[in-house]
Amino acid sequence: MKIAVIYGGTSAEREVSLNSGRAILQALSSYGYEVCGMDVDQTLFDELKRYQPDLVFLGLHGRLGEDGAIQGALEILGIPYVGSAVLSSALAMDKVMTKRILRPLGIPLADDRVYVSHRAPEEDQVERMMDDILSHLTLPVIVKPNREGSTFGLTLATTESLLKQGIRQAFAHDDSILVESYIRGMEVTVVVVGTARDAQNPPRVLGTIEIIPKAEVYDYESKYGMNGSEHIIPARLPEELLSQVETYALTAYTELGCRDYGRVDFMVGENGPVLLEVNTLPGMTATSLVPDAARAAGLSFEALIDQLVSQAYQRAHP
């Protein structure tokens, strides 16, 4: 089987994507697949046409990679791929849309405010946003771009000064931003494999991980720096609470129509779990959570990649 691994791209997560792509390439090569790595630029589709892969494995993260854009192009080209399809990818990348879909299901979500500006907001706009935030939420709050990953543009605003700074920083990454109540507690992620509404390969929990970041928040350095965080599998939660978190994760993954693999992030505070976001193409680097969950489940990273390839290929060739 010929497999193209697409990585890199132009999002803020380019470096993470390059590392994920290299790890995926190495894993596929170890299983004897014929592989070719491809960066995302204007020559990508010509390169795909020349190589004519049987399957694409996406090592992309962030916008124009994880948001359904590349997936849509692959659908047009008729090339099957590992990972969630166009709609699921687009919905999960948009945190506001994710919350609109999940809130009616009774999944706990943080209180929030959403703001849009198609250019850098003027000082008076920022002041109006701050007034609105402070009238609805209590500091500290989390300020983040609506459609960005790896905590790029995220600020934990404990003061009004940091809130103003966070608003400007978030708008530097996206034209819509999300401001949420800060939940203090245990950071937990649930790694899910399988495909929504597929009786042959239904979604199941591969592992639930407790994350102990060295920083106050699970930021970029905590995620990708060596020893930036400690991962404990399974998360040290009471059995009933662990089951509740995993049920919420499976519900969110299924409702968004995700397939193959993904990650659902939570904060577990004094009032219970709160879902943060759903990742349809989570990191596959040496410090990433999905490989950790696989190892804890007795599955090597290479074997996991092979399983994902087999499932995606069989879906395309029933």
Residue positions annotated with a catalytic role: 13, 150, 288
Mapped to the 3 state alphabet, what secondary structure does the chain carry?
CEEEEEECCCCCCHHHHHHHHHHHHHHHHHCCCEEEEEECCCCHHHHHHHHCCCEEEECCCCCCCCCCHHHHHHHHHCCCEECCCHHHHHHHHCHHHHHHHHHHHCCCECCEEEEECCCCCCHHHHHHHHHHHHHHCCCCEEEEECCCCCCCCCEEECCHHHHHHHHHHHHCCCCEEEEEECCCCEEEEEEEECCCCCCCCCCEEEEEEEEEECCCCCCHHHHHCCCCEEEECCCCCCHHHHHHHHHHHHHHHHHCCCCCEEEEEEEEECCEEEEEEEECCCCCCCCCHHHHHHHHCCCCHHHHHHHHHHHHHHHHCC
Q: Is 279 marked within a binding site?
A: yes
Q: Is 34 marked within a binding site?
A: no
Tell me which residue has tokens 């934990």.
Answer: 156
Q: Is 160 marked within a binding site?
A: no
* Phi (first) and psi of residue 110, to 5 degrees: -70, 145
Binding residues for Mg(2+): 265, 277, 279
